[in-house]
Amino acid sequence: MGSPFSPHSAQTHLIAAVFSVVLVIAGVIFLVVAAGVIYSSVRYRSRGVTAAEPRQVFGSRKLEILWTVVPLAIVTGLFVITVRAMVLIDAPQESGQTPDLVITGHQWWWDARYPNGALATGDIHIPAARRLLVRIESTDVIHDFWVPELARKMDAVPGRPSYIWLEADAPGTYSGACSEFCGAQHAWMRFRMIAEPEASFNAWLLRQIQPLAEPTGAAAEGARLFRTKKCEDCHALGKKGPDLTHVATREFLGAGISRNTPENLALWLTNPQAAKPGNRMPDTPLTANERAALLAYLESLQ
């Protein structure tokens, strides 16, 4: 996971700057309080000698005004900083502009749709050094889209899409995750933002909408099983499960719970609940041959 203090966009740079100011102010205030507490604890400690009671002080108008006005001034300053930063960071919610990307949270994975019809699941590609207007949606419960290095977090509320600016100032891979508790597998609802130079991004985007080569051999049998065993009833855009069109290109399975190896992929076919406890995939009875054919097909989906 990236930290808010390793910002890679104009928005997150600004947040890091505001956060630094807040931490410095908080640190100074804490030191003042601690100094007062420790000084009076040490200086005015009574060591068991039964002396007369100390002088009784009931209050001081001047001091009380001081510690009303100074904190008020500090929070007023903070408020000004806050509002100025909000204006710069926040994306317009009702601009009518077509989003560059629509990112959707599901229990428990993320996918992204591009204007040309391309779909990315888990690994979301973006062009580097371009500010994108991203629409955040949810199909079931409330999720929260969070890539600490690239953007503010934004709740994905079902029935209520929202918008953020998303930007990566340099090519790279940035990790993200759901940041609102969303059920059994909230822990494994991770994803990666892959920022690429414009040209390679465009090439990737084009590849996503070109039809894949017809599978051959065992993979062809697997493709047939994918239909007859009703895998495709869920594993498609707009259905209950993640789209698998390019599953072989992914680094991780189950939104981060395991690496994308043939063994881990096979586990999803033999025992989905062992692969990711609590997920919504039912057991499908398969023979060893059928399993091998399906695996061959899935591994061919580049």
Partner 1 sequence: MSAWLCAIDHKRVGILYMLSALLFFLAGGMEAMVMRAQLAAPNLKLVAPEVYNQMFTMHGTTMIFLVAMPVLTGFGVYLVPLMIGANEMALPRLGALSFWLQLFGGVLLYISFASGSAPDAGWFSYAPLSEKPFSGGAGLDYWALALLLITGGSIGSAVNLIVTIATSRAPGMTMRLVPLFVWSTFITSVMIIFALPALAASLVMLLSDRLLHARFFDPAQGGSPLLWQHYFWIFGHPEVYIVVLPAFGMISEIIPVFSRKTIFGYPLMATSSVAIAFLSYGVWAHHMFAVALGRNFLAVFAASSMLIAVPTGMKIFSWIATMWGGAIRFTTAMLFAVAFLLEFTIGGLSGVAFATVPVDWQMTDTYFVVAHIHYVLFGGTVFALFAGAYYWFPKISGRMLDESLGRWNFWLVVIGFNAAFFVQHFLGLLGMRRRVYTYPDLPWFGALNVISTIGAAILAFGILLFCANVLMSLYFGAPAGDDPWNAWTLEWAAASPPPLENFAEIPRVRSRRPLWDLKHPEAPDWTRA
Residues 6+ apart with CB under 8 A from 280: 107, 240, 241
Of the candidates 111, 108, 138, the residue with the CA atom closest to the CA atom of residue 124: 111
> In whole angstroms, what separates CA 114 from the centre of its chain?
18
Q: Measured from the CB of residue 192, what is the shortest distance to partner 1 in angstroms?
A: 12
Please tell me whether residue 139 binds partner 1 under the rule CB under 8 A.
no
Token readout for 76 is: 């007023």
DSSP assignment letter at 130 = -
Please tell me whether residue 64 binds partner 1 under the rule CB under 8 A.
yes
Q: Measured from the CB of residue 134, what is the shortest distance to partner 1 in angstroms?
A: 12
Going residue by residue from 221 to 260, which x/- string records binding to partner 1, judged by CB under 8 A? -----------------------------------x----
Please work out the total of residues on this chain that contact partner 1, with binding judged by CB under 8 A: 85
Please tell me whether residue 96 binds partner 1 under the rule CB under 8 A.
no
| 3-class SS string, 166-183 | ECCCCCEEEEEEECCCCC
Window 31-50: residues binding partner 1 (CB under 8 A) = 33-34, 36-37, 40-41, 44-46, 48
Q: Measured from the CB of residue 31, what is the shortest distance to partner 1 in angstroms?
A: 10
Going residue by residue from 255 to 294, which x/- string records binding to partner 1, judged by CB under 8 A? -x--------------------xx----------------
Rg (CA), the chain: 27
Decide whether 240 or 291 has the Cβ nearer to partner 1: 240
Interface region with partner 1, contact rule CB under 8 A, candidates 3-11, 194-202, 203-211, 284-292: 3-11
**Rounded Cα–Cα distance for residues 192 and 92 (Å):** 25
User: 3-state class of 235 per DSSP?
Assistant: strand
Window 98-137: residues binding partner 1 (CB under 8 A) = 107
Going residue by residue from 157 to 196, which x/- string records binding to partner 1, judged by CB under 8 A? xxxx-xx-----------x-xxxxxxxxxxx--x------
Q: Measured from the CB of residue 212, what is the shortest distance to partner 1 in angstroms?
A: 31
Window 140-159: residues binding partner 1 (CB under 8 A) = 140-142, 144, 146, 148, 152-155, 157-159
Token readout for 63 is: 């001091």
Decide whether 34 or 203 has the Cβ nearer to partner 1: 34
Cβ atoms of 157 and 149 closer than 8 Å: no
Q: Measured from the CB of residue 231, what is the shortest distance to partner 1 in angstroms?
A: 23
| 3-class SS string, 181-222 | CCCCCHHHCEEEEEEECHHHHHHHHHHHHCCCCCCCCHHHHH
Q: Centre a 10 Å sphere on the Cβ of residue 232 and count the other Cβ atoms it contains.
A: 15
**Rounded Cα–Cα distance for residues 56 and 33 (Å):** 22
